[in-house]
Structures are given as C-alpha cells and as structure tokens.
Structure 1
Amino acid sequence: MITVIGSGRVGATTAAMLGLLGIDNKIVLIDIVKGLPQGEALDLNHMSSILGLDVYYVGSNDNADMRGSDLVIVTAGLARKPGMTREQLLGQNADIVYGIGKDIAKYAPDSVVILTTNPLDAMTYVMWKATGFPRERVIGFSGVLDGGRLAFYAGQKLGISPASIIPIVLGQHGESMFPVPSKSFVYGVPLDKLLKPEEIKEVVDETVKAGARITELRGFSSNWGPGAGVALMAKAVKRDERRALIASVVLKGEYGVTDVPVEVPVVLGRGGAVKVLEVELGAEEKAKFAQSVEAIRKLLNSLPDKYR
C-alpha cells in the first residue's frame, strides 16, 4: 500500500500517475482539508474504472490510515506563490513536515518516505530527524525534476529527444542548484562538447529558473513534472529496480559532506536510496558544488533547535 499525504495539485497528480503506472493496487490519500482527499479518491476511482485499472483509492483526514504502507509520499505543505523563493517557505513548512514525520514513525515505521515539500533539502532534513529513520529511507524528490528540465532545455537546443540525454544536477534543489553540463551526456558525449558556451549558459539558467517561471506564468507551482518524477521514484522503490536517479539524501561523508541532504545520483530500490553515486568533479565544479551545499547549510542553521 502507498500513502500520499497531501491532496493538493502535486499529491493528486502523483496519485494519478501511481495508478496509471500500476505501481500498487491500493493508494491512500490523506489531507487535513475535510472532503478533499475523499473527493479526489472518488474521482480517481472513476478514472480507474474507465481505464480498466486494478487500483483502488481511499481518501482520509486521519494520518493513522497510513498503517500498512511500505511507501509514504509527502506532498503536504504550503505551496510557493509568485515571487516567493523556496527558502521563504522554510519556517512555514517545518512544523507541518515535523508533525507528519512523527506520525509516519508511529503508523508506518518500516516505510520508505519520499518528500516533495519545499524548501526541499531542508524539509528532507526535518523529516529525517522527525522519523528517526536511516538516511536511506528518507528521500527528497528533486533531481528527477531538475534533471528532466535540464534534459528538456538541452534537447530543445540540440534538436533531439530529451530521452537521449542523461542529465546531472547536483547540490541544492532551489536557486543555488548546480546543473553539470560536463557530466550530462548524450550517449557518452558531454553537453559542453555539443553546445556553445552561450548555449550552455542559457540551458543552465532556464533549468534553475524553470520552477519560478511556471509559477509566474500560471500563478501556482508545478505539479505535472513533480507527479511524474515522484511516480518514477516510487516505481523504483516498490519494484526494487535498483535504478539510478537523482534525489536529495543526507550525505554521510560522500562528496566530503556529512549530515546535510544534498541532491546527488542515488540507486533506488526496496530499501530506499541503497547507494550514493559520487560524480567525479573538476576543481571549478567542486567549488560550485560546495557553494550549493553551503546554501543548504545556511537553511539548516536557520531551523529552530527542535528540528536539528
């Protein structure tokens, strides 16, 4: 059983993607808003009926109904508004995530947690502390989205399918993220060998600003990209695919970083992030990566003591 906590746009979209991919036959949606998860579940059950899917959705306002879940996806929290950075959400969302984490530890103590709440890396840290789970079982969703955006913009420049590109984005999920064109490949050829320097700069800028651009254009943050990316991660965990994807996990010495959640390539399987992959970086790239990690540290240092 999979539980999705938060039935807003990202939560509902994620639940739909989980069903369409047939990842589990029971999906529980939980939200504090009365009627919202129940209504989404009913609509999604109609979707399942129409498409002939063997998936049943349940809506609830009680976190206790996550009992029995081996995967809990947390999308709850206040969303970004136009002009708001992920960092401005820090204080507003920490309380929400901490409370949910305590309930996950109580009702789904053996689960893997995938989190989308922003600011992502800091909220991953709060969730890790709240649950007391091993770092492998608390995973921040970030890199699949950032990498997908990098692949999209590079593919547009090259006139090729984004599926042909293996993108690498490291560091913070936010304005200080570090896209790495030299380590992003089209069948072994790095992007910085295929694109001009000015094109690389444009691709990097578009990737970093993509989330803010979506929010600016439509008045609320993205949900289709996150929903698709979370479902991909969920499939890797539930089916023990041992698939390499980019996600935010607490590092334990990798990249010379300890006790800080950072967006890096990981191998996802039944136990969560079963392995962290270390990308070999040049001197300049290491410096940019360190700057991105420092931006995360600053956020963590601004958290109240009870979350640290």
Structure 2
Amino acid sequence: MKLTVVGAGNVGATVAECVARMDIVQNIALIDINEGVAQGKALDLMEAAPIHGFDTVIEGGADYGITEGSDVTVITAGLPRKPGMSRDDLLKVNSDIVSSVTRQVVEKSPDTILIVVSNPLDVMTYVAYMESGFPSQRVMGMAGVLDTARYRAFLKMELGVSVRDINAMLLGGHGDSMTPLPRFTTIGSQPVTDLIDEARLDEIIERTKKGGGEIVGLMGTSAWYAPGAGAAEMVEAVVKDSNRVLPAAAWVTGQYGLEDLFIGVPVKLGKGGIKEIVELDLNEKEASDMQASGAHVREVIEAYQNLPKDEA
C-alpha cells in the first residue's frame, strides 16, 4: 500500500509521521511546491524510523512522479488561516491550489482515494470531487474526526476521565455551523447530560465549534497535531479495511434531508473508501441544526461556483 501526502507543512508532515508510525503502508510520498522542505522532512522522518521502529519508506519532492500508484492521497495543500481570517476567507486562493493538486494526483494515481484536509474543508472536498471525476465514495473530507476529537478532549478536561471512555459524534459543516449531538455522547455507558449541566455543556460545545480559531489566536497559525492525527486515523481505516464508523465530509444524496453537497456525517470507512453513510435518528432540534449547517455549506459552494474562471 502507498500513501501520498500533498503539502509538507505542519499538517502534512504530521500525517506522514502518524501513518509511518502505524507501519501500515510500505511507501509514503510527501509532495510540496518547496522541494527542499518535502525532501528534508521525508529524510528527517526516515532518520526517526530506527527510534520508532517502523519500516515505511518515505520520499519527498515536488515531482508528482513519486506519487504514482498511490492507494490513498491526503491533500493538505493550501494557505493556513491567519488571525482574523475565517475558513471561508481562504476560498479563492485555496480552491485554485486544490484544483491543481487534484488534477496532478489523479493523473498519476487514477484509482486513489482522496482525503481532503484543506480549508474551507467542505467546499475544498467538493472542489476535489469535481476535478477528479471520481465516484463520491472515493472522495471525502477530514473534519468530523477532528471536531469530535476536540469535543472529547474538552470533555476529558472537564470530567477527568479517560478519552477511551468518551464516545461522541459531531455532524455538519466544519466550523461554527457544526451540529452537536450531546444526546449521542456517553461517558462509559452514562449519558453526558447526566454528568454535565446543560449550560456548561453548551459552553464546551461552543468551544469545540471555535476550537480551530482558539489555536490560531494563540499561535498565529492553524493547528496541525490534531488535524494530522485525524487524517491518519481515516487513512488507517481505509488501509486496514476496518469498517470504522467515523464522521467525515461525504457527498450526501438525500441523507439527513440534504443532497448534492459534502457535509459531515457518520460513514463506514474501509477498502474503497466510504462504504456507507450511517443515518442517525435525529430529533427535531438536531435535524434543524443539520439543515442550517447544510445551508451554510451550500452558500460557500455557490460562492465558489460564482468565482471568476481565472480565480476558480
């Protein structure tokens, strides 16, 4: 099995490191417009292999020739958010980058599975889908895994329990329009609503929605450890054909009352990509939140579609 990671910045390098340490693929190609950065990080990771004990071979460069025959491709390329920027502010510049990257990846690996991490996530996944011409089950976005991880981390901080005992799921668009599902959140087998009062839980959910912005405010740039680990978890599910049920930005065709857009939903991941979209039985409030989130995603898709051709 072979993985390509496009973008050798902080997120891309973290994806490569996490997957290499899992020792689940034979080769990783790390691609970046800055060839020296990609080569240097690939070499650095190879020099860490004897310490971590993995045998994955990592090669870096700017030539997409080294990506040929990739089974899975993670796209992290694009500009990161700066303080004061929303994910949607990145639309014009990153759509051009993701379009170009997708075309080059598909040329060398026509059977690959695409996992998009670039922001604004839901729309960049749509861009990759349109540019690739792939069936929808082979194109997805990494957002829900990250959002849910942040939510679980904040619950751990609040309750002092192991993250292994926190089960949760967040749906909807990546960002402020995400759809929280506290009704489906359990600590062990106990509903989180029995352990945290509604007002405090709302605060934790709000912090989750703005989790990326909180880190941008602290560091002046986007997060990378959690997003990189989230993408690696999705790669692992595909490579191992484990049928993990994880939240991902997937192409909906009527599920949750939404269609013709990418939005965060629970999916069964394994060989070939998305095997199934899992439909949860939402109550009226949850369904309404999901519709509102879908409307926001559609607005950004329409903004992308209306970009002048030389910018799109």
Q: Shorter-chain TM-score: what band?
A: over 0.9
Q: Please state if 1:249 is matched with 2:267.
A: no
Match of 2:27 in 1: 26
Match of 1:97 in 2: 98
Match of 1:112 in 2: 113
Distance in 1 between the 2:98 and 2:31 partners? 14
8 Å CA contact 1:72–1:111 kept in 2: the answer is: yes
Deviation at 1:223, TM superposition (A): 0.5
Distance in 2 between the 1:244 and 1:304 partners? 31
Match of 1:185 in 2: 186
**Per-residue deviation, residues 222-255 of structure 1 (Å, max 9, x unmatched):** 1000111111110100110111111101111111
Q: Name the stretch that deviates more: 181-190 or 20-29.
A: 181-190
Match of 2:59 in 1: 58
8 Å CA contact 1:150–1:179 kept in 2: the answer is: no
Distance in 2 between the 1:90 and 1:192 partners? 37
> How is 1:201-240 mapped onto 2 (pairs within 5 angstroms)?
201-240=202-241
8 Å CA contact 1:151–1:163 kept in 2: the answer is: no
Distance in 2 between the 1:208 and 1:252 partners? 25
Distance in 2 between the 1:188 and 1:210 partners? 26
Distance in 2 between the 1:194 and 1:175 partners? 25
Distance in 2 between the 1:284 and 1:179 partners? 10
Q: Secondary structure at the match of 1:113?
A: strand
Q: Name the stretch that deviates more: 97-106 or 298-307.
A: 298-307
Distance in 1 between the 2:188 and 2:15 partners? 30
**Per-residue deviation, residues 10-69 of structure 1 (Å, max 9, x unmatched):** 001110111111121211100111311011111111011333321111011012321110
> How is 1:167-182 mapped onto 2 (pairs within 5 angstroms)?
167-182=168-183
**Per-residue deviation, residues 158-214 of structure 1 (Å, max 9, x unmatched):** 221222111111110012111211122223433223210111111111101111111
> How is 1:1-308 mapped onto 2 (pairs within 5 angstroms)?
1-304=2-305
- Where do 5+ consecutive residues of structure 1 fail to align? none
Distance in 2 between the 1:88 and 1:76 partners? 16
Distance in 2 between the 1:33 and 1:246 partners? 32
1:274 maps to a residue whose letter is K
Q: Secondary structure at the match of 1:160?
A: coil
**Per-residue deviation, residues 249-279 of structure 1 (Å, max 9, x unmatched):** 1111111111110101101001111110111
Q: Secondary structure at the match of 1:69?
A: coil
Residue identity (%): 39
Distance in 2 between the 1:261 and 1:58 partners? 31
8 Å CA contact 1:137–1:271 kept in 2: the answer is: yes
RMSD across aligned positions (CA)? 1.4
**Per-residue deviation, residues 84-142 of structure 1 (Å, max 9, x unmatched):** 11011011100111111112221111011111000000000000000011111111001
8 Å CA contact 1:105–1:132 kept in 2: the answer is: no
8 Å CA contact 1:169–1:180 kept in 2: the answer is: yes
- Where do 5+ consecutive residues of structure 2 fail to align? none
Distance in 2 between the 1:189 and 1:281 partners? 19
Distance in 1 between the 2:57 and 2:277 partners? 34
Distance in 2 between the 1:44 and 1:223 partners? 16
TM-score by length of 1: 0.97
1:226 maps to a residue whose letter is P
Q: Secondary structure at the match of 2:55?
A: coil
Distance in 1 between the 2:295 and 2:261 partners? 10
Deviation at 1:144, TM superposition (A): 0.8
Distance in 2 between the 1:47 and 1:263 partners? 35
